[in-house]
Amino acid sequence: MAARPPGGGDTKEPEAIEFGIAALDARLDEADVSFPATAAELRDALGDQEVPYDAQGRSIAIADALDRVPKQRFENETAFLDALYPVFDEARREERGVIASLRDALPF
């Protein structure tokens, strides 16, 4: 029979770490944004906010992410998030070092 981990009297669940599209979606919910919207309108509404793109907390400014997207008009929130997903994915891949790449290549 396994022992329970120490509780310390706190029954609160640990908070989840949001990054990438989930973090951006949360920022959109907090901002005064309506769609359809242009990249310029989104920059104005979201300001100079940084959005973490990985669990380590590395982040990218929303304005920089928008600069990497060729599209300048987004019909709805889903189209906006879909357009920025590759930007976050590319940033995660760029930050991965040689050791992480080797670790991924190993069979264990």
Whole-angstrom Cα distance, residue 49 to residue 81? 16
What lies within 8 Å, CB to CB, of 52 at 6+ separation is 17, 18, 19, 20, 23, 58, 59
pTM: 0.69
pLDDT tens over the chain, length 108 residues = 454 444 555 555 546 667 788 888 888 888 888 899 999 999 988 888 888 888 887 889 999 999 999 999 999 999 999 999 999 888 888 766 556 666 666 765
Boundaries of every domain in the chain: 21-105
